[in-house]
Structure 1
Amino acid sequence: MQQPIGIFDSGVGGTSIWKEIQKLLPNENTIYLADSKNAPYGAKTKKEILELSVKNTELLLQENCKLIVVACNTATTNAIDYLRATYEVPFIGIEPAIKPAALKTKTKKVGILATKGTLSSSLFHSTSKIFAEGITVLEQEGTGLVELIEANKVNSKTTTELLKQYINPMLEQDIDCLVLGCTHYPYLIPALRGLLPQKVTIIDSGEAVAKQTNAILIKNQLLAKKRDNTKHIFLSNSNTEVLKSMVEGANVEVTYLNF
């Protein structure tokens, strides 16, 4: 089926998920919504997050998307149950990778860097309770990080200093896994590698989300046939330059849209 996969996030961060999906599913068309004007979602109320998620979903459905990836941890934890109950298309959500971290840790101490909206959600707490029994999960709000990534300041001194402030207390508690609980944060991995000891494993959700997307497409008989002319459309309601720098390619189109 040649209808596109729809993807939305509170900005450019979900492109880290898009890259994994595109790598695993090269025959699929995609449409990506970057709601950068309203970033970050993590600081908003549950009602605001739900309203934005509905707006993004309906825009993607107008584009005839066959499946929607909620490429935002905050939107997933606060809105995906409502979206699944309201719309007929399949939804793929993003949750912090607590389970793989809990299975991998040897010190039984895991750090999670995420937004306030994710850490305060009931879905996050229920997931942690199920998978992290006997594990100490050290939560840290990544206040300000999304804004720096949206401003293309990933390698700035400000970003490095902020990461040190967030990471060092977790290192003092002897974590050996760091879960990135926001789809923007994989863009910080090079900076984090310079701050973390070698024993600390960084875990994000990108590959697992791509595999789940593939599985749901197969289950619903929605996989695209082999083709050479795939198209990837990126729509942003803010400055498109950062988005363009992250998704350059011959079959990629980045456009401003006031939504």
Structure 2
Amino acid sequence: MNKQPIGIFDSGVGGTSIWQEIHKLLPNENTIYLADSANAPYGPKGKDAIVQLSIKNTELLLSKGCKLIVVACNTATTNAIKVLRDSYKTPFIGIEPAIKPAALQTKTNAVGILATKGTLSSELFSKTSGLFASNITVVERVGEGIVELIEKGALHSKEMRHLLNIYLQPMIEANIDHLVLGCTHYPYLIPLLKEMLPEHVKIIDSGAAVAKQTKAILKQHGLLNIVTLMPENLFYTNGDPAIMTSLLNATHTAEYLDF
């Protein structure tokens, strides 16, 4: 069981940012990554559709023998993880925007959140935000169009810079000192965001925290793989494999899979 792979799925290629953190922390683990790019982004879809897509991805990963599943998608986590945990015995790791550390660390009492519509409108996000950010200014922006540009390989395009300028301006005017990235596609924007934001703004994503939680749950269930020296890391997408391969810096090759 210990040598069985960790399964990871996202609405597209963005969750590879989570895979990289997991691989860095757990280099012995075999992994299978699933990018449902044909249905990206999940954000605008209704809760029922997101749950059904999450079940489809889970079933595929379980059919490939995964011992644990990381839902490397904020929208899928906030809308579907309770259903997944209630339906399967396999451990699940979710991801949600790191509003808690931003709210606790802010000095200007203002933080920004860039996320998808599905995440910002979810019950889970509303509950977390209410618990930790009720006494500060929270500037929320739906990153409409960002996922689509990343999915088609336009990460460094003029259009991307134009969109980010629109979303960041109200945050800069509100004097935010933390920007929370609420979508696993968004860490790929960090070099661009650093250019566009004031120097004092700290950018927070959830990748490292998810990797630590993955390790903790594997350890808790006695599933850590400490044996494999040459792990197998498989990447599947129902979109364009070349785009995912480019995000992985060609260290791994993605394959097309019709699912």
TM-score (norm 2): 0.98
Aligned to 1:254: 254
State the one-letter code of the partner of 1:25.
L
Classify the secondary structure of the residue corresponding to 2:196: coil
1:152 aligns with 2:153: yes
Aligned to 1:73: 74
Instruction: Within 5 Å, give how 1:102-251 maps onto structure 2.
Output: 102-248=103-249
* CA apart distance, 1:208: 0.3
Classify the secondary structure of the residue corresponding to 1:179: strand
State the one-letter code of the partner of 2:229.
D
- How many corresponding residue pairs? 258
* CA apart distance, 1:245: 1.1
Structure 2 Cα separation of the partners of residues 17 and 119 of structure 1: 20
Structure 1, unpaired ranges of 5+: none
Instruction: Within 5 Å, give how 1:1-80 maps onto structure 2.
Output: 1-80=2-81
**Kept after mapping to 2: 8 A contact 1:232/1:253:** no
Structure 2 Cα separation of the partners of residues 143 and 94 of structure 1: 20
- After superposing the two structures, state which structure 1 stretch, 90-99 or 224-233, moved more: 224-233
State the one-letter code of the partner of 1:256.
Y
State the one-letter code of the partner of 2:151.
E
Structure 2, unpaired ranges of 5+: none
Name segments (4+ residues, structure 1) moved above 4 Å.
Answer: none
What is the CA deviation profile of residues 44-92 of structure 1, one whole-angstrom value per residue up to 9, with x for unaligned ones? 0111100000000000000010000000000000000000000000000
Structure 2 Cα separation of the partners of residues 108 and 27 of structure 1: 41
State the one-letter code of the partner of 1:76.
T
* CA apart distance, 1:132: 1.4
Structure 1 Cα separation of the partners of residues 253 and 3 of structure 2: 18
**Kept after mapping to 1: 8 A contact 2:139/2:170:** no
Q: How well do the aligned residues superpose, as a CA RMSD in angstroms? A: 0.9
* CA apart distance, 1:133: 3.1
Structure 2 Cα separation of the partners of residues 124 and 210 of structure 1: 20
* CA apart distance, 1:248: 4.4
State the one-letter code of the partner of 1:230.
P
Work out the percentage of aligned pairs sharing the same amino acid.
63
What is the CA deviation profile of residues 189-239 of structure 1, one whole-angstrom value per residue up to 9, with x for unaligned ones? 111111000111100000000000000000000000232220100010011
